[in-house]
Structure 1
Amino acid sequence: MTMLPDLLRLTAPVRETLDTLPASKALIGVGTDGQPVAIDLDDAAHVRVTTIGGGGSSTILRTLTAQFLHHGAHALVLDMKRISQPWARGLPTVTYRADVADIHDALTGLATELRRRIDVIDRHGSDVGLLRLVVVFENGDATLRRLARHWETVRRPGDPQESPAITALIEVLFAGRMARMNVLFDGDPSINALGPEGREQFGTVILGRVPTSTWRRFAPAARPAPQHRGHLNRGRVHVVQGSTAHQTQVLTLTDPEALGRATGAC
């Protein structure tokens, strides 16, 4: 077992590792065996990041998003706080939405795009070369609650009871892998509108500074559950993939580094 570093930054060796990864993969960090810990969106389409306050979820989403943008993906950033991913604002490959009405419209638009992509695949085959679209969902739980309340205020007689924006997100979680639409979600889906079916679609779960009870709820198949000691090390998480949990020191990209990686400048 290798001692994890206190901080993992974009050094030359790390950059070399990033450059070897295919477009479907992104580096999360390094494990206790000294090997890279990565996600592959072609294998496990969606990622959930769950931390306590100040646990670094926005940093993780920033680092992952920049890597996918580097490989030509586009991103839809949903950031009700407006300050979580400022580096991505203004990029031609990024759509940034912060107002709840705009987030509602963006998500319902995803449902239309999902159907379009599935139609293209049905007509031309799965190797048609669709552009990857990464949906970066910041502060997910509060945003979903706001979306539900927004729908209550604008819903007209005859409209569905459930928010079509939330329904669209669930549809993307179920069918997004085939359509190359992937969700990076910051939050605790056990208490939001996604329900157990939506929660099960996250093939990679990143847990940072969470108590054992949260571990058991989100990753019951992974053993053993770590004893909660606060994980005070900056960037120290557990990456759960299937029944395996990797203690990991995450790669930390600053805003300028993320921008540089996304645009190919570094």
Structure 2
Amino acid sequence: MADDLERLVRRLHRRRIALRLTYRYLAGRPLSGRDGYPWRTRGAGRLAGWQRQAVRLGMPTAAGVAVVMPEQTLTAASALAVAAAWRGRQRLVRRRFHREYIAPTLAAIIPPLGLQTGVQLHVDPSLGNLTPRLAKPLSPAEEAARLFYGERIEPVLRWLPERVQRAAWAAQRRARPVTSRLEVFRRPGEELGPRIEVLIDTPYLTREQRQLVSSIIGSKIPVSDLVESWHQIGPRVRARWTVRKRPPAKVGHDQVLAHFPKLPDWEFYIGQGAGDVPVVISLREDSPHIAVSAGSGAGKSVLAELIAVQVLARGGRVTILDRKGSHRWALGQPGVDYCTRPEQMHDAILRKAALADERNTLALHEDEDWDPGPRDLVICEELNATIGQLANYWAEVRGKGDPKRSPAIAALADLLFMGRSAKVNVLAIAQMLTARAIGGPEARENFGIRCLARYTANNWKMLVPEASMPRASRTLGRWQVVIGGQATEVQVAYLTTAQARALATSPADLDKPLTSDVPGDGDMMTLRDAVDAGVLPWSYEAAKKRMQRRAGKVPAPRGNRGNADLYARADLAEWAGSKP
């Protein structure tokens, strides 16, 4: 009887062990019965419970299916092999990314902060060109394999996902009338996008520690033009670097009309910045002169035109030194002295230097806030070539006893040093504004406003070494305006020729075209404009006396600019040819 009872107990014990082993096998738990291996997360060097469960149940199932359906199993196995290879490649890339960026950066951050652990770093691979930096050069065999994959395999693999995506987009468009009304109930969330984020298990970091962390991030992770923010409320410190918001892709006539009339005489609207914020430069507060450096076709003349028409609209004058004819909008424009030949440029610069010297002399005997008169803007196009042409011209005409250096080049340097109080400003344009192109490094330091586009690292370091260099944009009209070592990304406003001429000629009515009583677009000029442009053969004082005596066929005024009357160019030319 006792033996039967003992055999029954052993049998029940064995059955209990078998049930436990079966449960542990199916549940993904260790067969030894040891605890401490969670089902969701992985243990130290071991699989998670769900992974172990998938292996234990999947392998017998796959074996049974392979016996029953060998052909379908082979197809499925091929698909799984492709997916496994793809996932393995992704995992290798992530491991290389972690080894190249994450691990070294953490190793550099943790010791200076005095922390053993408790620092988490997240870096989005989509930032900049971080992932392409890890790519190694391909061998000819690898290039051939990638070409074959791209031409033969990838189109087949992407056919179904693309169709599904297009169907989803079509469904979204169909549902838009309904979903658009539901957007009023959606709470705005924080759209982070690609970012670098550091979480530090400490409640506070000093300013020096924050600067150290920021310096390490900038040195170890080669991504520029990010916005840095710190959050120290709570038990942990969080630092985040996000992608800077970009200006709008296009800015035009409407934005100029909206912002320009509100500005004082010394401020100029040039375009929109990040967040669609207007960008304004000041020739009184920021700098009296502007340097423009960009590659060919970047829009240098567009930027110069935008500033010039604002000067003209306020009653000022513009002198353009332009050998190649980039400013056709200014031909015949009142208040514009367009110089295309070296002798014209030479004389024009000497006149402006004399004007600045005269105004500065008068300013000595006037109050501190004395206004010397309308603003004069000198636009020097392609300065690298213009300086050489002025030097060659002077070498040809220089007489015995004349100085070797061109007086025009010396006068241009004088304008850069004394133009602020005289309201004579220089806008220098060059593909690379070297010290030699502007007359020396001292003269170049007078440009407090520096605009760059399509720049190289060499050009940036030469012109604005004090500012950190953002990545050059390929968007047409996208500029970096550097003032006081701070670079601001700007989409410069674009004006057509008709819009520019209308804005420069009709400042009182900016949003309307020229009126019909104007004989031609840009043919209106004051008496002084006519003398300077050579339309009248007399001096300004002689022309005024002739008009007062009504000598000849005196033209009738067609309008006014400030206190000065405007006359038609054709009427002035007829008056100059008539006999008293």
Match of 2:450 in 1: 205
Alignment of 1:1-266 (within 5 A): 1-11=244-254, 13-43=255-285, 44-81=287-324, 83-130=325-372, 131-187=374-430, 188-190=432-434, 191-223=436-468, 225-228=469-472, 231-263=473-505, 264=507, 265-266=509-510
Shift of 1:92: 2.4
TM-score (norm 1): 0.93
Whether the 8 Å CA contact 1:212–1:227 is kept in 2: the answer is no
Shift of 1:101: 0.7
- Which AA in structure 1 matches 2:319? L
Distance 1:16 1:243 in 2: 29
Instruction: Spell out, residue by residue over 1:149-182, the C-alpha distance to the aligned partner (whole angstroms, 9 max, x if none).
Output: 1111111121111110000000000000011100
Q: Structure 1: which 5+ residue stretches go unaligned? A: none
Secondary structure of 1:80 counterpart: coil
Moved more, 87-96 or 205-214: 87-96
- Which AA in structure 1 matches 2:418? A
Distance 1:175 1:127 in 2: 16
Whether the 8 Å CA contact 1:126–1:178 is kept in 2: the answer is no
Supply the RMSD in Å over aligned alpha carbons: 1.4
Distance 2:278 2:316 in 1: 22
Normalized per residue, the structure richer in helix is 2
- Which AA in structure 2 matches 1:242? G
Instruction: Spell out, residue by residue over 1:55-91, the C-alpha distance to the aligned partner (whole angstroms, 9 max, x if none).
Output: 110011001111121112111111111x211111222
Distance 1:6 1:33 in 2: 12
- How many residue pairs are counted as aligned between the two chains? 261
Match of 2:104 in 1: none
Whether the 8 Å CA contact 2:284–2:420 is kept in 1: the answer is yes
Instruction: Spell out, residue by residue over 1:80-115, the C-alpha distance to the aligned partner (whole angstroms, 9 max, x if none).
Output: 11x211111222211111111111111112221121
Distance 1:219 1:31 in 2: 19
- Which AA in structure 1 matches 2:466? A
* Bigger RCO of structures 1 and 2 (CA < 8 A, at least 6 apart): 1
- Which AA in structure 2 matches 1:20? K
Shift of 1:49: 0.8
Q: Structure 2: which 5+ residue stretches go unaligned? A: 1-243, 511-580
Whether the 8 Å CA contact 1:29–1:251 is kept in 2: the answer is yes
Shift of 1:252: 0.9
Whether the 8 Å CA contact 2:274–2:489 is kept in 1: the answer is yes
Moved more, 191-200 or 51-60: 191-200
Shift of 1:2: 3.7
Secondary structure of 1:156 counterpart: coil
Distance 1:28 1:261 in 2: 14
Cα distance, 1:14–1:150 mapped onto 2, change above 3 Å = closer
- Which AA in structure 2 matches 1:28? I
Shift of 1:29: 1.2
Distance 1:169 1:234 in 2: 31
Moved more, 89-98 or 211-220: 89-98
Moved more, 130-139 or 26-35: 26-35
Secondary structure of 2:385 counterpart: helix
Larger Rg: 2
Secondary structure of 1:4 counterpart: coil
Cα distance, 1:160–1:189 mapped onto 2, change above 3 Å = farther
Shift of 1:193: 4.6
Distance 1:86 1:14 in 2: 20
Normalized per residue, the structure richer in strand is 1
TM-score (norm 2): 0.44
Shift of 1:14: 4.0
Instruction: Spell out, residue by residue over 1:111-138, the C-alpha distance to the aligned partner (whole angstroms, 9 max, x if none).
Output: 2112111111112234332221111111
